[in-house]
């Protein structure tokens, strides 16, 4: 059927109009914008060195260009010209699809991070020993003895589990059966370490005590960690020791105490965890069952790369290579010294070359996360033993070679091409959830080839998620996401905020961690509860400082503070204090943190950084009025139209997170209007409206998914396919925003990913 002549005429007219009348976006961009932003949006050194990319829609870009660009010549690119430029840059380099096309992400070949190295080394040694199993009971098991003569113990007269070791008996005794003239106690159990870092321990006593930590035996006096066994005139003595420990693991503890014909009796076992203060070791971190020792690498490593916002093993420097060599020597020396306990070989068996060769083969296989191929067997095992007359020297050489090999240091090298086999799946599972090596159950499943179906993999993930090592890694994620890892100075002016000291800060940090743990490990595990739950966890000190009903003791209890907007983590005093000045609030710091980390907004660095100097403002102004003045310039408001409303919504909380109604003798105003990515505005009454918006925002949900993905995988989420984030979001929403279910799903994505090519080294 032929079109009428009029139809042809109209089509031709439209085509001509399109060709002749519509502005050329590319030409306008090159004439007016490229001098500052580069011909491909890459930026220029002299004007604007940031790449031109983001998440604004074409319509939003057009409005911005019409309103603000080019700078100081804002009337040159307007209306249809602005529309054309917006469409051009969005399709060429600004929009998400263009970014993926121009800079396609890839799965990178990464080395072990510092944490992964230490955890993998500990897992490697543990694989030859009894696996750690935690029990729910807490405290240390104590056996109490009466002492009739110096150092003479008979049968114990009392056995009990003590919640903490914080005793000041003075002239009394621990129990009725105990002689006042002399008694001794032997405690045993394990110390459960929540995070990796440097811990200080302190024993304080009027008497005699010996503390063994991570020791093979409870009677190994020569290797005591803290020796306070020699007391002088019944005076209080204090002994301190420092030890680097890996988080997510338990360490055997033995504590011996003795007093004989002394007037005063006391014993205090205390610690100072990373970023904390001295305190009796809390009951939550003591377990009455004795676990096996943990091998902890003490060698120092250079910091890992965090340029992308999360730690990853992308940098390979001379310092890192030297550190891994020193660590390998340290590990091998430890293994040779304790070979009997680690290998299970008797003294006579350790003279047998065949048995030592077999052990070397097992060691290499577990370090490489799969059975050795013929070339590896020859290189790392057989050649060492065939060319060395002393089998112990051969074993040492073999283990050193294994621990410095790329097959150990670069886990991705062990991955097979194509669909991942069961050993690749096991390796990825262990590294992702535990930062370490496959345990015996994973290795057994890999040997049987039963890590192939989604159901088989999910069963292993669900088992591993409940392990304390996954809890440690999840806590590490929240420390990064919520900026709990010590990067903020929480010290405040003591004249303005008396009582806000280091101990209170430690209580606040623990309170926030407790809140997060309760949400994540509950049956609901609902992400929205992080933002909408109205309670906090307080102890006696915190309740007194924040005006709650009086509480007794250091135990954290669930409390709802009345008369203030309560919105989960957003109004937790720790975060409010962390994002504030030493003497006042900081709407900018609070607004940036929530906009980026929680709401998922893209904020680029300011073109010109402007610092806040309180002395430059009228002393009668509120903080909100000062920030409004400071950021009123158009160049500032492009980002501060997002930042300021969020920060202002929290102005009813002072610099330490206490609720207030006035600022500088004026009523606090938290009402504002929030600008969405599509330029629509939402009225905000207070922070609760921000929290409600975030809890229902797909952008916020996807930001959380991305942060979690990056922390656990150390890879870009887009490297696993352009639809990965959207697919994970759909499953996240379907699960009721269950955080643990999300972890299971994203782990499935990573471990089942079919590699079309070998991963390339990180740049």
Per-residue model confidence (pLDDT) at position 649 = 97
Three-state SS sequence of 693-721: HHHCCHHHHHHHHHHHHHHHHCCCHHHHC
Per-residue model confidence (pLDDT) at position 755 = 72
What's the rounded Cα separation, in Å, for the pair 668 and 685? Answer: 12
Per-residue model confidence (pLDDT) at position 15 = 44
Per run of 10 residues, the mean pLDDT along the chain (length 763 residues) is 49 45 81 85 76 78 81 80 85 77 82 97 95 95 84 78 95 86 94 96 96 85 88 91 97 95 94 94 96 95 90 92 97 94 89 95 98 97 95 97 97 87 97 97 96 96 96 96 80 96 95 97 98 97 96 94 92 97 96 96 75 89 95 85 96 97 96 91 96 97 97 94 95 98 97 74 54
Per-residue model confidence (pLDDT) at position 639 = 87
Kindly list the distances between the CA atom of residue 756 and the CA atoms of 368, 413, 418, 429, 760, in Å, as whole numbers in the listed order: 22, 14, 6, 19, 12
Per-residue model confidence (pLDDT) at position 193 = 97
- The burial of 450, by beta-carbon neighbours within 10 Å (0-12 exposed, 13-18 middle, 19 or more buried), is given as middle
Per-residue model confidence (pLDDT) at position 608 = 67
Per-residue model confidence (pLDDT) at position 21 = 59
What's the rounded Cα separation, in Å, for the pair 403 and 115? Answer: 16
Per-residue model confidence (pLDDT) at position 526 = 98
What's the rounded Cα separation, in Å, for the pair 745 and 402? Answer: 33
Per-residue model confidence (pLDDT) at position 535 = 96
Show the tokens assigned to 502: 């280091």
- The burial of 582, by beta-carbon neighbours within 10 Å (0-12 exposed, 13-18 middle, 19 or more buried), is given as middle
Name, in order, each residue with C-beta under 8 angstroms of 222's C-beta and a sequence gap of 6 or more: none
Per-residue model confidence (pLDDT) at position 10 = 46
State the alpha helices, DSSP H only, in 285-421: 318-337, 339-343, 353-368, 374-377, 383-386, 391-403, 406-409
């Amino acid at each position: 059927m032929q079109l009428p002549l009029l139809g042809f005429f109209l089509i031709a007219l439209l085509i001509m109009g399109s060709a002749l009348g519509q502005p050329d976006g590319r030409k306008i961009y090159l004439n007016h914008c490229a001098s500052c932003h580069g011909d491909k949006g890459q930026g220029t050194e002299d004007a604007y060195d940031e790449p031109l990319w983001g998440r604004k829609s074409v319509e939003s870009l057009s409005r911005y260009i019409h309103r603000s660009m080019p700078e100081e010549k804002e009337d040159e690119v307007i209306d249809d010209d602005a529309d054309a430029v917006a469409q051009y840059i969005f399709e060429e380099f600004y929009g998400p699809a263009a970014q993926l096309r121009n800079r396609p992400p890839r799965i990178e070949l990464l080395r072990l991070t510092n944490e992964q190295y230490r955890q993998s080394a500990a897992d490697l040694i543990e694989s030859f020993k009894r696996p750690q199993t935690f029990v729910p009971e807490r405290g240390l098991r104590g056996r109490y003895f009466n002492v009739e003569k110096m150092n003479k113990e008979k049968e114990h007269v009392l056995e009990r589990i003590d919640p903490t070791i914080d005793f000041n008996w003075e002239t009394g005794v621990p129990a009725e059966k105990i002689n006042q003239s002399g008694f001794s106690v032997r405690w045993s159990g394990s110390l459960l370490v929540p995070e990796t870092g440097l811990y200080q321990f302190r024993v304080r006593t009027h008497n005699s005590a010996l503390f063994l930590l991570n020791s093979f035996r409870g009677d190994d006096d020569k290797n005591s960690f803290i020796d306070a066994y020699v007391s002088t005139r019944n005076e209080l003595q204090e002994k301190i020791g420092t030890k680097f420990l890996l988080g997510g693991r338990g360490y055997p503890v033995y504590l011996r105490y003795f007093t004989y014909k002394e007037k005063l009796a006391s014993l205090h076992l205390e610690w100072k965890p990373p970023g904390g203060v001295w305190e009796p070791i809390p009951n939550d971190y003591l377990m009455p069952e004795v676990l096996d020792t943990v091998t902890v690498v003490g060698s120092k490593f250079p910091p890992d790369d965090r340029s992308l916002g999360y730690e990853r093993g992308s940098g390979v420097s001379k310092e890192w290579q030297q550190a891994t060599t020193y660590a390998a020597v340290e590990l091998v020396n430890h293994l040779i010294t304790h070979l009997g306990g680690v290998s299970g070989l008797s003294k006579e068996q350790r003279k047998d070359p065949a048995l030592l060769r077999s052990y070397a083969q097992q060691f290499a296989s577990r370090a490489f996360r799969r059975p050795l191929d013929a070339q590896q067997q020859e290189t790392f095992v057989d050649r060492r033993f065939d060319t060395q007359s002393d089998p112990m020297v051969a074993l040492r050489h073999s283990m050193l070679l294994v621990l410095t090999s790329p097959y150990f240091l670069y886990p991705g090298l062990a991955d097979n091409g194509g669909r991942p086999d069961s050993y690749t799946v096991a390796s990825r599972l262990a590294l992702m959830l535990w930062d370490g090596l496959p345990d015996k159950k994973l290795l057994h499943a890999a040997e049987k080839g039963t890590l192939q179906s989604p159901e088989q993999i999910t069963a292993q993930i669900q088992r591993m998620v409940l392990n304390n090592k996954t809890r440690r890694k999840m806590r590490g994620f929240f420390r990064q996401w919520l900026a709990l890892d010590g990067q903020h100075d929480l010290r405040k002016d003591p004249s303005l905020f008396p009582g806000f000291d280091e101990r209170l800060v430690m209580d606040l940090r623990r309170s926030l961690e407790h809140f997060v743990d309760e949400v994540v490990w509950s049956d609901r595990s609902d992400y929205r509860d992080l933002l909408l739950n109205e309670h906090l966890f307080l102890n006696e000190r915190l309740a007194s400082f924040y005006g709650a009903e009086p509480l007794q003791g250091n135990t954290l209890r669930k409390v709802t503070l009345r008369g203030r907007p309560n919105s989960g983590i957003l109004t937790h005093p720790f975060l409010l204090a962390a994002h504030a000045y030493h003497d006042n609030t900081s709407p900018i710091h609070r607004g940036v943190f929530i906009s980026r980390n929680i709401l998922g907004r893209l904020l680029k660095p300011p073109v010109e950084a402007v610092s806040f100097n309180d002395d430059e403002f009228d002393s009668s102004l509120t903080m909100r009025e000062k920030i409004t003045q400071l950021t009123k310039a158009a160049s500032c408001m492009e980002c501060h139209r997002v930042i300021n409303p969020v920060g202002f919504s929290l102005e009813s909380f002072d610099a330490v997170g206490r609720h207030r109604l006035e600022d500088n003798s004026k009523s606090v105003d938290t009402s504002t209007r929030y600008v969405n990515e599509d330029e629509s505005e939402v009225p905000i009454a207070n922070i609760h409206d921000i929290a409600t918006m975030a809890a229902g925002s797909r952008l916020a949900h996807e930001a959380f998914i991305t942060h979690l993905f990056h922390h656990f995988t150390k890879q870009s989420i887009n490297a696993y396919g352009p639809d990965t984030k959207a697919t994970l979001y759909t499953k996240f929403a379907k699960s009721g925003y269950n955080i643990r279910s999300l972890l299971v799903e994203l782990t499935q994505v990573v471990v089942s990913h079919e590699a079309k090519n070998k991963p390339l080294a990180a740049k």
